[in-house]
Amino acid sequence: MFVFSNTILRQKVATTAATSAAACCHVVSSSSTQVSSRQLLHAASFANRTTNNVQRAAVPVRSLSSSSSPSSSTTTKSGDHQSLIINAVGTDRLGIVHDMTKEVIAVGGNVGASQAAKLGNYFSLLMLVDVPTKEITTLTQQLQTMHDLSATVHHTNDTKSSAASSSSLSSSTIGYSGTLTLEGADNPGIVHNVTKILSNNGLNIDRMETTDEIAPNGGSVLFRMNGIAHAYEPLSSGFDAEKIRNELNQLGDDLNCDIDLIDGGDGN
């Protein structure tokens, strides 16, 4: 590892000192058969100086092994965050969305997909958020104490492994997408009847919006529906967009409204 411990270095110091002393004595004894005490003292002094010089050079060496190097800390996110669905309804007012998202950000969370709608004098907001697990209780309490707002927090079962599964599902290829439109007289159960036809034919509703208003000529309520429906590949062997249109048109005739399914639609 190219690193000497202090023990090994001391051994080398002792060896070097002994070698130096022996060499000095050998030189003195070789140069004359008569060695005076002064000459021997001079040789010993030289050996001591050599030992001291080598010892001063033996400075502590920091080990480069992995055991003594600073350990790196890795933050594992798995299990630290939880996906929540927040559903809130309240009296429509300025800044209501800002106030709700501020609470999510305040606990270190992040807002993902969201949908909002104004319903009469009320406002509805649906959000998918990701927050630290330890902050879920705090966020829930903050949302439930907001003025003129009723909020519920739904805990999902999303984990890192299931998130991968969800990502795989969201990236599945759409085999068919259509834009659904409806306009006509309002009838009890009209939404149920339309969505039943779609479901029976293997279509999922990606987005839907409905409104009602007094007809221009007065006296009756005009109902409108707009949405996106799609089916993932592989399509069932009996899937037939024209058949679905015919069923919707027949329902429209029965309910005195115009219903259509136009091929193509933006599912985003």
Give 104-140 pLDDT, tens digit per residue. 999 999 998 888 888 888 999 999 999 999 999 999 9
Check residues 132 and 11 and name the one with the higher pLDDT: 132
Query: From residue 120, how far is each of 39, 251, 263 by CA, in Å?
Result: 114, 28, 32
Decide: pTM greater than 0.75: no
* Reported CATH class of domain 173-263: alpha beta
Task: Please report the pLDDT score of residue 79 as a whole number.
Answer: 58
HSE-up of residue 190 (Cα within 13 Å, Cβ side) = 23
* Confidence grade of residue 59 (pLDDT, cut at 50, 70, 90): very low
Phi, psi of 150 (to 5 degrees): -110, 115
Which two structure tokens, joined as six digits, stand for 75? Answer: 């933050």
Check residues 267 and 109 and name the one with the higher pLDDT: 109
Give per-residue pLDDT as tens, 138-189: 999 999 999 889 999 999 876 543 444 444 444 579 999 999 999 998 888 8
The CATH number of 81-167 is 3.30.70.260
Dist CA 55 CA 49 (whole Å): 10
* Torsion-angle region of 206 (φ positive above 0: left; ψ -120 to 50: alpha; else: beta): alpha
